[in-house]
Amino acid sequence: MLNLKQLPQISIQDYRYELPENAIAKYPLSRRDESKLLVYQHGDIQNSIYQQLPNFLPSNAVLIFNNTKVVEARLQFTKSTGSTIEIFCLEPFDMCIDITSAMQQTGSVQWKCLIGGAKKWKSGILEKQISLPNGNLLLQANKKTILNESGTYLVKFNWNDETITFAEILHFAGIIPLPPYLNRDTEQEDNFRYQTIYAEKEGSVAAPTAGLHFTPELMQALKQKGIQTAYVTLHVGAGTFKPVKAEQIAEHEMHAEFIDVSKQMIQHLQKHIQQPIVAVGTTSLRTLESLYWIGLKIFDYYLENEKLHHLQDISVEQWVPYQTKNYISLQEALNYILQWMEVRGTERLITKTSIIIVPGYEFKVVKGIITNFHQPQSTLLLLIAAMIGHDWKRVYEYAIEHHFRFLSYGDGSLLWRN
């Protein structure tokens, strides 16, 4: 049983700051890499733009990006009465199937969803005609049951064409879900600008926004300096916007998200383990740090001669880093993951992570992070405080005073770990 007294005793009130409404970027800049860049290192703060990012990175740095792709997760249905029901698809209902596989299902799927106007949809099946390039398709939605107190429902979708995947259903019928704090409807431009240029694996309901600043020209400039780039996948869930309502962070329940890391990526990480590894975004950072705890879990199970078969077996629980006493090196942790993958004959490590990174966390992988500016009293702001300590206040005060743009479509920062 979880003992709250053993967990970090952090008051969320200590992570407040005044965020003016006019500091929140409602729209992106027309050119991604012209966004402002705050650089923090050894207590010093500099003001630049993303086009100059290579100048602030050593030539042996390794940048790790999250190549998830935002899906059009909002589906709107119109009832015979004329009222609109919106279904927000969060993740597949089956715990044993990863999002990438679930997106390729045909004919029928079951997903965990949020429902706007749920009280208007007491029973019955909702239907929606979808126009496809080669004809029309009928999509049906059946609300099965409520899953928890936060209002998540199990919804079963059926459609009358076995050649069409659920990913295609969402693409042709869905709407990109913008963050709620933008307080505006999705516009045509968002379909392009709310994706990174390297987005590949469909499954997120929110963009890994630190990557929105990168252009082909900036990627080429990084390459010319010798800076290496690699990719992991974390499918961002709606929980990323979940506010911390508890007074103590130890009482906050962190959301779980799917991660997908290739064997090749883990081997690449092993090869460059002594070089400065920089995570592009909090999602990349949480994925990289989760790898260590996965390796440690596999090590512990090997010691006990137990077998790990399912993705739940190697998932990373929220408070594991703060309760674990047995430590191994990062090199060893990655070795255990590779051995486990070899035994299973798999090229991809797919599981879930709920890791929460707060002040007091001991970083195992990353030396720096490229990230946007986050909301007050959020778990993302706590992650920044874990990276640079109390200087997070100076950084955010500087950003506000120098008119940096905040949140998803805003400017960003390069923060080196203290």
> Residue 279 sits in a domain of what CATH number?
3.40.1780.10
269 and 150 belong to one structural domain:
no
Domain region containing 97 = 73-175
State residue 148's pLDDT score.
72
State residue 213's pLDDT score.
98
> Of all helices (H) and strands (E), which one includes residue 322?
helix 320-323
410 and 388 belong to one structural domain:
yes
Rounded to whole angstroms, how far apart are CA atoms 352 and 92? 13
Has residue 307 been placed in a domain? yes
Final residue belonging to a domain, choices 145, 175, 205: 175
State residue 197's pLDDT score.
98
Phi-psi region of 151 (alpha: psi -120 to 50; beta: other; left: phi over 0): left
State residue 311's pLDDT score.
59
State residue 312's pLDDT score.
67
Rounded to whole angstroms, how far apart are CA atoms 305 and 324? 19
364 and 246 belong to one structural domain:
yes
Say what the alpha-carbon torsion angle 268, 274, 276, 280 is, to the nearest 10 degrees. Answer: 30
163 and 221 belong to one structural domain:
no
State residue 2's pLDDT score.
58
Residue 169: closest CA among 127, 139, 204: 139
34 and 77 belong to one structural domain:
no
State residue 306's pLDDT score.
57
Place of tokens 């998932």: 315
81 and 61 belong to one structural domain:
no
Between the CA of residue 247 and those of 10, 19, 65, 90, 359, what are the distances in Å? 8, 20, 33, 27, 16
Nearby residues of 397 by Cβ (< 8 Å), 6 or more positions away: 17
Has residue 188 been placed in a domain? no
Final residue belonging to a domain, choices 129, 146, 175: 175
Q: Which two tokens stand for residue 219?
A: 């990627």
Has residue 369 been placed in a domain? yes
State residue 140's pLDDT score.
95
Q: How many C-beta neighbours within 10 Å does residue 183 have? A: 10
203 and 135 belong to one structural domain:
no
115 and 224 belong to one structural domain:
no
| DSSP3 helix / strand / coil % (the chain, rounded to 5) | 35, 30, 40
Backbone angles phi, psi at 17, to 5 degrees: -155, 160
State residue 202's pLDDT score.
93
Q: Which two tokens stand for residue 26?
A: 């409602």
Has residue 180 been placed in a domain? no
Query: Is residue 197 within 8 Å of 231, Cβ to Cβ?
Result: no
pTM of the predicted model, to two decimals?
0.93
pLDDT, tens digit only, all 418 positions of the chain: 556 667 888 999 999 999 999 999 999 999 999 999 999 999 999 999 999 999 999 999 999 999 999 999 999 999 888 889 999 999 888 766 788 888 999 999 999 999 998 888 888 899 999 988 888 899 999 988 877 766 789 999 999 988 999 999 999 999 999 998 999 999 999 999 999 999 999 999 999 999 999 999 999 999 999 999 999 999 998 777 777 889 999 999 898 899 999 999 999 999 999 999 999 999 999 999 999 999 999 998 765 555 665 656 789 999 999 988 778 999 999 999 999 999 889 999 999 999 999 999 999 999 999 999 999 999 999 999 999 999 999 999 999 999 999 999 999 999 999 8
Phi-psi region of 295 (alpha: psi -120 to 50; beta: other; left: phi over 0): alpha
Backbone angles phi, psi at 99, to 5 degrees: -65, -40
Has residue 3 been placed in a domain? no
- In the chain, the amino acid numbered 137 is L
Nearby residues of 259 by Cβ (< 8 Å), 6 or more positions away: 232, 233, 234, 235, 287, 290, 349, 350, 351, 352, 353
152 and 115 belong to one structural domain:
yes
313 and 284 belong to one structural domain:
yes
Has residue 185 been placed in a domain? no
State residue 97's pLDDT score.
76
Q: How many domains does the chain have?
A: 2
159 and 241 belong to one structural domain:
no
Final residue belonging to a domain, choices 124, 147, 175: 175
Q: What is the side-by-side strand order in the sheet with 36-41?
A: 44-49, 36-41, 412-416, 368-372, 277-280, 62-66, 228-234, 257-262, 348-353
154 and 22 belong to one structural domain:
no
Has residue 186 been placed in a domain? no
- Counting every residue written for the chain, the total comes to 418
Between the CA of residue 233 and those of 161, 264, 266, 288, 336, what are the distances in Å? 30, 13, 12, 10, 20
